[in-house]
Structure 1
Amino acid sequence: MKSSELPKNGNVLVQLFMTQKTTLAVSVSEVSKNSAFWNYPLPWKYGRVYVPVEKHYPAASYAKCKEILCHMDLNKDDLAGKRVVELGTVPGGWTMVLLEQGAEVNSVDWTDLKDPWFKVHSSLRHHTMDAKIFNPVSIGILDRSEALDYVFCDLALPPVKSVDLMEMWIQNRWAERVIWTFKMGFGHEVSHALTIRGIQKCLAKYEPEFVCTIRHLYKHENEVVVLGRWTDEMRARAESKKSIVKDM
Protein backbone atom coordinates (compact mmCIF):
# COMPACT_ATOMS: atom_id res chain seq x y z
CA MET A 1 0.00 0.00 0.00
CA LYS A 2 1.29 3.43 -0.93
CA SER A 3 1.27 6.28 1.59
CA SER A 4 -1.04 8.19 -0.77
CA GLU A 5 -3.66 5.43 -0.29
CA LEU A 6 -3.80 5.78 3.49
CA PRO A 7 -6.77 7.58 5.11
CA LYS A 8 -6.00 11.29 5.47
CA ASN A 9 -7.58 11.95 8.88
CA GLY A 10 -5.16 9.72 10.79
CA ASN A 11 -7.92 7.58 12.37
CA VAL A 12 -6.88 4.17 11.12
CA LEU A 13 -6.97 0.59 12.33
CA VAL A 14 -3.97 -1.53 11.32
CA GLN A 15 -4.41 -5.31 11.54
CA LEU A 16 -1.65 -7.90 11.00
CA PHE A 17 -2.14 -11.60 10.30
CA MET A 18 0.49 -14.26 9.61
CA THR A 19 -0.87 -16.35 6.74
CA GLN A 20 2.35 -18.39 6.57
CA LYS A 21 5.66 -18.41 8.42
CA THR A 22 7.12 -15.98 5.92
CA THR A 23 3.97 -14.11 4.83
CA LEU A 24 2.32 -11.27 6.72
CA ALA A 25 -1.06 -9.87 5.65
CA VAL A 26 -1.59 -6.21 6.52
CA SER A 27 -4.97 -4.48 6.60
CA VAL A 28 -5.23 -0.70 6.98
CA SER A 29 -8.77 0.62 7.35
CA GLU A 30 -10.25 3.98 8.20
CA VAL A 31 -12.09 4.12 11.54
CA SER A 32 -15.30 6.10 11.19
CA LYS A 33 -18.78 6.58 12.58
CA ASN A 34 -22.06 7.97 11.33
CA SER A 35 -24.76 9.80 13.27
CA ALA A 36 -25.96 6.59 14.93
CA PHE A 37 -23.05 4.21 15.62
CA TRP A 38 -19.43 3.25 14.92
CA ASN A 39 -18.93 1.69 11.50
CA TYR A 40 -16.83 -1.42 10.87
CA PRO A 41 -13.99 -1.95 11.54
CA LEU A 42 -14.60 -1.12 15.17
CA PRO A 43 -12.07 1.10 16.98
CA TRP A 44 -11.36 -1.22 19.94
CA LYS A 45 -8.78 -3.95 20.40
CA TYR A 46 -10.14 -7.16 18.81
CA GLY A 47 -13.31 -5.17 18.04
CA ARG A 48 -14.42 -5.72 21.63
CA VAL A 49 -15.51 -3.12 24.18
CA TYR A 50 -13.92 -3.74 27.57
CA VAL A 51 -16.50 -3.35 30.36
CA PRO A 52 -15.07 -3.66 33.88
CA VAL A 53 -16.84 -5.74 36.53
CA GLU A 54 -18.79 -3.49 38.90
CA LYS A 55 -20.60 -4.96 41.88
CA HIS A 56 -23.06 -2.16 42.69
CA TYR A 57 -25.40 -2.90 39.79
CA PRO A 58 -28.48 -5.03 40.53
CA ALA A 59 -27.84 -7.30 37.54
CA ALA A 60 -24.96 -8.31 35.27
CA SER A 61 -26.95 -6.97 32.31
CA TYR A 62 -25.47 -3.52 33.03
CA ALA A 63 -22.49 -4.66 30.92
CA LYS A 64 -24.73 -5.14 27.87
CA CYS A 65 -26.06 -1.61 28.19
CA LYS A 66 -22.58 -0.10 28.58
CA GLU A 67 -21.37 -2.01 25.53
CA ILE A 68 -24.30 -0.66 23.49
CA LEU A 69 -23.56 2.91 24.58
CA CYS A 70 -19.96 2.52 23.39
CA HIS A 71 -21.06 1.20 20.00
CA MET A 72 -23.35 4.23 19.66
CA ASP A 73 -20.60 6.52 21.00
CA LEU A 74 -22.88 7.87 23.72
CA ASN A 75 -21.69 9.37 27.00
CA LYS A 76 -23.03 11.61 29.77
CA ASP A 77 -22.98 14.68 27.53
CA ASP A 78 -25.20 12.86 25.01
CA LEU A 79 -27.63 11.31 27.51
CA ALA A 80 -27.94 14.02 30.17
CA GLY A 81 -31.53 15.25 30.31
CA LYS A 82 -32.65 12.99 27.46
CA ARG A 83 -36.08 11.34 27.66
CA VAL A 84 -35.80 7.56 27.63
CA VAL A 85 -38.29 4.69 27.74
CA GLU A 86 -36.90 1.33 28.84
CA LEU A 87 -39.06 -1.73 28.11
CA GLY A 88 -38.33 -4.77 30.26
CA THR A 89 -36.61 -3.19 33.22
CA VAL A 90 -36.42 -5.50 36.23
CA PRO A 91 -34.04 -6.04 38.00
CA GLY A 92 -32.64 -2.70 36.77
CA GLY A 93 -29.12 -3.14 35.40
CA TRP A 94 -29.81 -1.05 32.30
CA THR A 95 -31.95 1.40 34.28
CA MET A 96 -29.13 2.22 36.68
CA VAL A 97 -26.65 2.76 33.85
CA LEU A 98 -29.02 5.15 32.05
CA LEU A 99 -29.79 7.10 35.22
CA GLU A 100 -26.07 7.39 36.03
CA GLN A 101 -25.62 8.92 32.58
CA GLY A 102 -28.16 11.61 33.46
CA ALA A 103 -31.13 10.38 31.42
CA GLU A 104 -34.78 10.92 32.40
CA VAL A 105 -36.03 7.33 32.43
CA ASN A 106 -39.54 5.91 32.13
CA SER A 107 -39.08 2.23 32.97
CA VAL A 108 -41.75 -0.37 32.19
CA ASP A 109 -42.17 -3.85 33.67
CA TRP A 110 -44.70 -6.11 35.35
CA THR A 111 -43.00 -5.81 38.75
CA ASP A 112 -41.32 -3.05 40.76
CA LEU A 113 -37.64 -2.27 40.94
CA LYS A 114 -36.45 -3.62 44.29
CA ASP A 115 -33.09 -1.88 44.77
CA PRO A 116 -33.50 0.99 47.31
CA TRP A 117 -31.31 3.20 45.08
CA PHE A 118 -34.20 3.53 42.63
CA LYS A 119 -36.71 4.67 45.27
CA VAL A 120 -35.04 8.04 45.77
CA HIS A 121 -34.05 8.80 42.19
CA SER A 122 -35.93 11.83 40.91
CA SER A 123 -35.18 11.11 37.23
CA LEU A 124 -36.98 7.76 37.28
CA ARG A 125 -40.66 7.06 36.72
CA HIS A 126 -41.55 3.37 36.87
CA HIS A 127 -44.68 2.02 35.16
CA THR A 128 -45.89 -1.32 36.55
CA MET A 129 -47.60 -2.77 33.50
CA ASP A 130 -47.17 -4.98 30.44
CA ALA A 131 -44.38 -3.43 28.35
CA LYS A 132 -45.84 -4.99 25.18
CA ILE A 133 -48.87 -2.68 25.32
CA PHE A 134 -47.11 0.42 26.65
CA ASN A 135 -48.09 3.46 24.59
CA PRO A 136 -46.18 6.66 25.54
CA VAL A 137 -48.88 8.88 24.02
CA SER A 138 -51.83 7.34 25.86
CA ILE A 139 -49.79 7.21 29.09
CA GLY A 140 -49.26 10.96 28.77
CA ILE A 141 -45.47 11.18 28.63
CA LEU A 142 -45.41 12.05 24.93
CA ASP A 143 -47.33 14.42 22.69
CA ARG A 144 -48.40 13.17 19.25
CA SER A 145 -46.30 15.84 17.53
CA GLU A 146 -43.01 14.92 19.23
CA ALA A 147 -40.71 11.97 19.88
CA LEU A 148 -38.77 10.59 22.82
CA ASP A 149 -35.00 10.67 22.55
CA TYR A 150 -34.49 6.92 23.07
CA VAL A 151 -36.28 3.63 23.53
CA PHE A 152 -34.27 0.75 25.00
CA CYS A 153 -35.82 -2.72 24.88
CA ASP A 154 -34.45 -5.88 26.50
CA LEU A 155 -37.71 -7.84 26.74
CA ALA A 156 -37.58 -11.64 26.88
CA LEU A 157 -39.86 -12.25 23.89
CA PRO A 158 -39.84 -14.69 20.97
CA PRO A 159 -38.12 -12.79 18.14
CA VAL A 160 -41.22 -12.77 15.90
CA LYS A 161 -43.24 -10.97 18.58
CA SER A 162 -40.34 -8.68 19.38
CA VAL A 163 -40.08 -7.65 15.71
CA ASP A 164 -43.77 -6.71 15.70
CA LEU A 165 -43.34 -4.62 18.85
CA MET A 166 -40.23 -2.89 17.52
CA GLU A 167 -42.03 -2.07 14.28
CA MET A 168 -44.88 -0.49 16.24
CA TRP A 169 -42.37 1.86 17.89
CA ILE A 170 -40.61 2.65 14.61
CA GLN A 171 -43.82 3.07 12.62
CA ASN A 172 -45.27 5.49 15.17
CA ARG A 173 -41.91 7.28 15.48
CA TRP A 174 -42.27 7.38 19.21
CA ALA A 175 -38.48 7.58 19.68
CA GLU A 176 -35.68 9.19 17.71
CA ARG A 177 -33.25 6.38 18.55
CA VAL A 178 -34.12 2.70 18.90
CA ILE A 179 -32.01 0.16 20.80
CA TRP A 180 -33.68 -3.26 20.65
CA THR A 181 -32.35 -6.69 21.67
CA PHE A 182 -33.60 -9.99 20.29
CA LYS A 183 -33.33 -13.24 22.26
CA MET A 184 -32.32 -16.02 19.86
CA GLY A 185 -32.76 -18.93 22.24
CA PHE A 186 -36.46 -19.65 21.72
CA GLY A 187 -36.77 -23.23 20.45
CA HIS A 188 -39.71 -22.65 18.10
CA GLU A 189 -37.65 -20.35 15.87
CA VAL A 190 -36.75 -22.15 12.62
CA SER A 191 -33.19 -20.78 12.53
CA HIS A 192 -31.14 -17.79 13.57
CA ALA A 193 -30.67 -16.91 9.89
CA LEU A 194 -34.44 -16.73 9.31
CA THR A 195 -34.85 -14.61 12.43
CA ILE A 196 -32.20 -12.16 11.20
CA ARG A 197 -33.88 -12.00 7.78
CA GLY A 198 -37.18 -11.21 9.49
CA ILE A 199 -35.59 -8.32 11.39
CA GLN A 200 -33.92 -7.06 8.19
CA LYS A 201 -37.20 -7.22 6.27
CA CYS A 202 -38.90 -5.12 8.92
CA LEU A 203 -36.14 -2.50 9.04
CA ALA A 204 -35.89 -2.24 5.23
CA LYS A 205 -39.37 -0.68 5.15
CA TYR A 206 -38.04 2.44 6.89
CA GLU A 207 -34.76 2.97 5.03
CA PRO A 208 -33.10 5.30 4.18
CA GLU A 209 -34.76 7.66 6.67
CA PHE A 210 -34.08 5.19 9.48
CA VAL A 211 -30.35 4.38 9.70
CA CYS A 212 -29.68 1.13 11.53
CA THR A 213 -27.45 -1.89 12.04
CA ILE A 214 -27.89 -5.38 13.54
CA ARG A 215 -25.03 -6.48 15.75
CA HIS A 216 -24.00 -9.42 17.89
CA LEU A 217 -22.03 -7.83 20.72
CA TYR A 218 -19.53 -9.55 22.99
CA LYS A 219 -21.62 -9.33 26.17
CA HIS A 220 -24.89 -10.32 24.47
CA GLU A 221 -24.26 -14.07 24.16
CA ASN A 222 -27.27 -15.59 22.32
CA GLU A 223 -28.75 -12.22 21.35
CA VAL A 224 -28.49 -9.61 18.63
CA VAL A 225 -29.24 -5.92 19.00
CA VAL A 226 -30.65 -3.34 16.58
CA LEU A 227 -29.11 0.12 16.86
CA GLY A 228 -31.10 2.66 14.87
CA ARG A 229 -31.82 6.35 14.46
CA TRP A 230 -34.05 8.56 12.38
CA THR A 231 -32.00 10.78 10.08
CA ASP A 232 -31.66 14.57 10.31
CA GLU A 233 -33.99 14.87 7.33
CA MET A 234 -36.73 12.98 9.15
CA ARG A 235 -36.26 15.11 12.28
CA ALA A 236 -36.50 18.27 10.14
CA ARG A 237 -39.81 17.03 8.74
CA ALA A 238 -41.07 16.42 12.28
CA GLU A 239 -40.06 19.94 13.36
CA SER A 240 -41.84 21.39 10.31
CA LYS A 241 -44.94 19.40 11.19
CA LYS A 242 -44.84 20.73 14.76
CA SER A 243 -44.66 24.33 13.58
CA ILE A 244 -47.65 23.80 11.27
CA VAL A 245 -49.67 22.38 14.17
CA LYS A 246 -48.75 25.39 16.35
CA ASP A 247 -49.72 27.86 13.62
CA MET A 248 -53.13 26.24 13.31
Structure 2
Amino acid sequence: MLFAIGAGDTIIATSDSADFPEEAKVIPRVGGFYGIQIEKIIELNPDLIVTWKGGNNVETLDRLTSLGFTLVNSDPKTLADVARDLERLGQLTGHEAQANKLAKNYRQQLSLLRQENAAKADVKVFYQLWSTPLMTVAKNSWIQQIIDVCHGQNIFYAAENEYPQVSVESVLLKAPDVILQSQDEGNIIGIDWSPWHEIPAVINKHIYQLDADLLHRPSLRTLLGIKTLCDVLDDARSTESTSVVN
Protein backbone atom coordinates (compact mmCIF):
# COMPACT_ATOMS: atom_id res chain seq x y z
CA MET A 1 0.00 0.00 0.00
CA LEU A 2 2.94 2.34 0.64
CA PHE A 3 4.16 1.74 -2.90
CA ALA A 4 0.64 2.30 -4.25
CA ILE A 5 0.32 5.73 -2.66
CA GLY A 6 3.77 6.80 -3.93
CA ALA A 7 5.76 6.31 -0.73
CA GLY A 8 7.72 3.26 -1.86
CA ASP A 9 11.00 5.11 -2.29
CA THR A 10 10.91 6.19 1.36
CA ILE A 11 10.98 2.60 2.67
CA ILE A 12 14.45 1.92 4.08
CA ALA A 13 13.80 -1.58 5.46
CA THR A 14 11.14 -4.27 5.50
CA SER A 15 10.34 -7.85 6.56
CA ASP A 16 11.32 -11.11 4.87
CA SER A 17 7.82 -11.66 3.48
CA ALA A 18 7.64 -8.37 1.52
CA ASP A 19 7.61 -9.33 -2.16
CA PHE A 20 5.24 -6.97 -3.98
CA PRO A 21 5.76 -5.01 -6.11
CA GLU A 22 9.05 -6.22 -7.62
CA GLU A 23 10.87 -3.19 -6.19
CA ALA A 24 10.04 -4.42 -2.69
CA LYS A 25 12.29 -7.45 -3.14
CA VAL A 26 15.47 -5.36 -3.09
CA ILE A 27 14.70 -3.45 0.13
CA PRO A 28 16.98 -4.49 3.04
CA ARG A 29 15.41 -7.00 5.44
CA VAL A 30 15.39 -6.56 9.21
CA GLY A 31 13.54 -9.70 10.28
CA GLY A 32 10.41 -11.78 9.98
CA PHE A 33 8.33 -14.25 11.97
CA TYR A 34 11.45 -15.41 13.80
CA GLY A 35 12.02 -11.90 15.18
CA ILE A 36 13.15 -8.35 14.39
CA GLN A 37 16.72 -7.02 14.44
CA ILE A 38 16.23 -4.09 16.81
CA GLU A 39 19.88 -3.09 16.57
CA LYS A 40 19.53 -2.72 12.81
CA ILE A 41 16.43 -0.56 13.21
CA ILE A 42 18.27 1.66 15.70
CA GLU A 43 21.05 2.05 13.15
CA LEU A 44 18.61 2.94 10.35
CA ASN A 45 16.68 5.35 12.62
CA PRO A 46 13.37 5.46 10.70
CA ASP A 47 10.87 8.31 11.17
CA LEU A 48 7.96 5.84 11.05
CA ILE A 49 7.58 2.11 11.60
CA VAL A 50 4.49 0.49 10.05
CA THR A 51 3.74 -2.70 11.97
CA TRP A 52 1.38 -5.65 11.87
CA LYS A 53 0.62 -6.51 15.48
CA GLY A 54 -0.74 -9.92 14.56
CA GLY A 55 2.58 -10.97 13.07
CA ASN A 56 5.02 -9.45 15.56
CA ASN A 57 6.07 -10.10 19.12
CA VAL A 58 4.36 -7.63 21.47
CA GLU A 59 7.52 -7.25 23.55
CA THR A 60 9.46 -6.27 20.42
CA LEU A 61 6.93 -3.59 19.50
CA ASP A 62 6.90 -2.28 23.07
CA ARG A 63 10.71 -2.14 23.00
CA LEU A 64 10.69 -0.08 19.79
CA THR A 65 8.15 2.30 21.31
CA SER A 66 10.25 2.68 24.46
CA LEU A 67 13.23 3.61 22.28
CA GLY A 68 11.24 6.58 20.99
CA PHE A 69 10.23 5.30 17.55
CA THR A 70 6.82 6.17 16.10
CA LEU A 71 4.82 2.99 15.40
CA VAL A 72 1.53 2.69 13.52
CA ASN A 73 -0.38 -0.58 13.24
CA SER A 74 -1.58 -1.53 9.76
CA ASP A 75 -4.00 -4.41 10.21
CA PRO A 76 -7.26 -4.04 8.24
CA LYS A 77 -9.93 -6.29 9.76
CA THR A 78 -12.68 -5.55 7.24
CA LEU A 79 -12.74 -4.91 3.50
CA ALA A 80 -13.69 -1.30 4.22
CA ASP A 81 -10.63 -0.92 6.46
CA VAL A 82 -8.31 -1.15 3.44
CA ALA A 83 -9.49 2.25 2.19
CA ARG A 84 -9.19 3.77 5.65
CA ASP A 85 -5.68 2.37 6.01
CA LEU A 86 -4.67 3.87 2.68
CA GLU A 87 -5.90 7.29 3.78
CA ARG A 88 -4.10 7.06 7.09
CA LEU A 89 -0.81 6.02 5.47
CA GLY A 90 -1.22 8.90 3.04
CA GLN A 91 -1.55 11.35 5.93
CA LEU A 92 1.46 9.90 7.74
CA THR A 93 3.75 9.95 4.70
CA GLY A 94 2.66 13.16 2.99
CA HIS A 95 0.98 11.38 0.06
CA GLU A 96 -2.61 12.26 0.87
CA ALA A 97 -3.76 13.14 -2.65
CA GLN A 98 -2.76 9.81 -4.18
CA ALA A 99 -3.93 7.85 -1.14
CA ASN A 100 -7.34 9.55 -1.12
CA LYS A 101 -7.76 8.94 -4.85
CA LEU A 102 -6.96 5.23 -4.48
CA ALA A 103 -9.20 4.89 -1.43
CA LYS A 104 -12.13 6.44 -3.30
CA ASN A 105 -11.62 4.13 -6.28
CA TYR A 106 -11.30 1.12 -3.99
CA ARG A 107 -14.62 1.92 -2.31
CA GLN A 108 -16.33 2.37 -5.68
CA GLN A 109 -14.98 -0.91 -7.05
CA LEU A 110 -15.90 -2.80 -3.88
CA SER A 111 -19.43 -1.39 -3.98
CA LEU A 112 -19.75 -2.37 -7.64
CA LEU A 113 -18.63 -5.94 -6.92
CA ARG A 114 -21.22 -6.20 -4.15
CA GLN A 115 -23.96 -4.96 -6.48
CA GLU A 116 -22.94 -7.27 -9.33
CA ASN A 117 -23.10 -10.37 -7.15
CA ALA A 118 -25.93 -9.56 -4.75
CA ALA A 119 -28.70 -11.27 -6.71
CA LYS A 120 -26.76 -14.36 -7.82
CA ALA A 121 -27.72 -17.85 -6.72
CA ASP A 122 -26.14 -19.24 -3.56
CA VAL A 123 -23.23 -21.63 -4.05
CA LYS A 124 -22.15 -23.92 -1.21
CA VAL A 125 -18.43 -23.28 -0.68
CA PHE A 126 -15.68 -25.07 1.21
CA TYR A 127 -12.56 -22.92 1.56
CA GLN A 128 -9.52 -25.13 2.17
CA LEU A 129 -7.20 -22.82 4.05
CA TRP A 130 -4.77 -25.64 4.74
CA SER A 131 -4.71 -29.41 4.32
CA THR A 132 -2.69 -30.87 7.21
CA PRO A 133 -4.42 -30.28 9.49
CA LEU A 134 -7.49 -29.57 7.40
CA MET A 135 -8.49 -25.98 8.16
CA THR A 136 -11.07 -23.59 6.81
CA VAL A 137 -12.64 -20.18 7.52
CA ALA A 138 -15.81 -19.09 9.30
CA LYS A 139 -17.84 -15.99 10.14
CA ASN A 140 -15.95 -12.74 10.77
CA SER A 141 -12.79 -14.03 9.09
CA TRP A 142 -11.15 -12.02 6.31
CA ILE A 143 -11.86 -14.68 3.67
CA GLN A 144 -15.49 -14.96 4.77
CA GLN A 145 -15.98 -11.29 3.91
CA ILE A 146 -14.76 -12.00 0.38
CA ILE A 147 -17.02 -15.04 0.07
CA ASP A 148 -19.94 -12.86 1.18
CA VAL A 149 -19.28 -10.34 -1.61
CA CYS A 150 -19.42 -13.17 -4.16
CA HIS A 151 -22.66 -14.53 -2.63
CA GLY A 152 -21.11 -17.82 -1.65
CA GLN A 153 -22.56 -19.91 1.15
CA ASN A 154 -19.73 -21.05 3.40
CA ILE A 155 -20.53 -24.54 4.71
CA PHE A 156 -18.61 -23.81 7.93
CA TYR A 157 -19.84 -20.25 8.42
CA ALA A 158 -21.21 -20.95 11.90
CA ALA A 159 -18.06 -22.56 13.34
CA GLU A 160 -17.03 -21.36 16.80
CA ASN A 161 -13.81 -19.66 15.72
CA GLU A 162 -12.71 -17.82 12.59
CA TYR A 163 -10.26 -20.48 11.40
CA PRO A 164 -11.56 -23.87 12.53
CA GLN A 165 -9.95 -27.27 12.06
CA VAL A 166 -12.38 -29.68 10.38
CA SER A 167 -12.50 -33.30 9.21
CA VAL A 168 -12.91 -34.78 5.75
CA GLU A 169 -16.05 -36.51 7.03
CA SER A 170 -17.64 -33.17 7.98
CA VAL A 171 -16.93 -31.82 4.49
CA LEU A 172 -18.57 -34.92 3.00
CA LEU A 173 -21.69 -34.41 5.11
CA LYS A 174 -22.02 -30.76 4.09
CA ALA A 175 -21.57 -31.56 0.36
CA PRO A 176 -20.08 -28.31 -1.02
CA ASP A 177 -20.70 -27.32 -4.62
CA VAL A 178 -17.25 -25.72 -4.80
CA ILE A 179 -13.91 -26.37 -3.10
CA LEU A 180 -11.49 -23.44 -3.06
CA GLN A 181 -7.84 -24.01 -2.20
CA SER A 182 -5.02 -21.55 -1.64
CA GLN A 183 -2.42 -22.11 -4.37
CA ASP A 184 0.35 -23.21 -2.01
CA GLU A 185 1.71 -26.53 -3.25
CA GLY A 186 1.67 -28.05 0.23
CA ASN A 187 -2.02 -27.27 0.53
CA ILE A 188 -3.00 -28.63 -2.88
CA ILE A 189 -1.13 -31.95 -2.63
CA GLY A 190 -1.99 -32.39 1.04
CA ILE A 191 -5.36 -33.94 0.35
CA ASP A 192 -6.77 -35.73 -2.70
CA TRP A 193 -10.50 -35.10 -3.02
CA SER A 194 -10.97 -37.16 -6.21
CA PRO A 195 -12.11 -40.41 -4.50
CA TRP A 196 -14.96 -38.61 -2.70
CA HIS A 197 -17.66 -38.71 -5.36
CA GLU A 198 -20.30 -37.92 -2.75
CA ILE A 199 -19.16 -34.30 -2.96
CA PRO A 200 -20.79 -32.27 -5.76
CA ALA A 201 -17.61 -30.20 -6.16
CA VAL A 202 -15.70 -33.39 -6.99
CA ILE A 203 -18.32 -34.79 -9.37
CA ASN A 204 -18.61 -31.51 -11.28
CA LYS A 205 -14.87 -30.73 -11.15
CA HIS A 206 -15.43 -27.52 -9.22
CA ILE A 207 -12.13 -27.53 -7.33
CA TYR A 208 -10.17 -24.31 -7.86
CA GLN A 209 -6.74 -23.09 -6.79
CA LEU A 210 -6.52 -19.38 -6.00
CA ASP A 211 -3.63 -16.97 -5.42
CA ALA A 212 -3.29 -16.71 -1.63
CA ASP A 213 -1.50 -13.35 -1.87
CA LEU A 214 -4.56 -11.76 -3.47
CA LEU A 215 -6.92 -13.27 -0.92
CA HIS A 216 -4.96 -13.32 2.34
CA ARG A 217 -3.13 -9.96 2.24
CA PRO A 218 -5.36 -6.92 2.88
CA SER A 219 -4.42 -4.37 0.22
CA LEU A 220 -5.61 -2.86 -3.04
CA ARG A 221 -5.01 -6.27 -4.62
CA THR A 222 -7.87 -7.58 -2.51
CA LEU A 223 -10.16 -6.34 -5.30
CA LEU A 224 -8.40 -8.75 -7.70
CA GLY A 225 -8.82 -11.53 -5.16
CA ILE A 226 -12.54 -10.83 -4.84
CA LYS A 227 -13.01 -10.78 -8.60
CA THR A 228 -11.09 -14.06 -8.97
CA LEU A 229 -13.20 -15.79 -6.34
CA CYS A 230 -16.43 -14.41 -7.81
CA ASP A 231 -15.39 -15.61 -11.27
CA VAL A 232 -14.88 -19.21 -10.14
CA LEU A 233 -18.24 -19.22 -8.35
CA ASP A 234 -19.80 -17.91 -11.58
CA ASP A 235 -18.10 -20.76 -13.44
CA ALA A 236 -19.67 -23.24 -11.03
CA ARG A 237 -23.08 -21.59 -11.38
CA SER A 238 -22.79 -21.71 -15.17
CA THR A 239 -21.89 -25.41 -15.18
CA GLU A 240 -24.77 -26.27 -12.86
CA SER A 241 -27.23 -24.28 -14.99
CA THR A 242 -26.06 -26.11 -18.12
CA SER A 243 -26.44 -29.47 -16.41
CA VAL A 244 -29.99 -28.62 -15.39
CA VAL A 245 -30.90 -27.53 -18.93
CA ASN A 246 -29.34 -30.65 -20.46
Q: TM-score, normalised by structure 2?
A: 0.30
Answer 1 or 2: which has greater strand percent. Answer: 1
Q: TM-score, normalised by structure 1?
A: 0.30
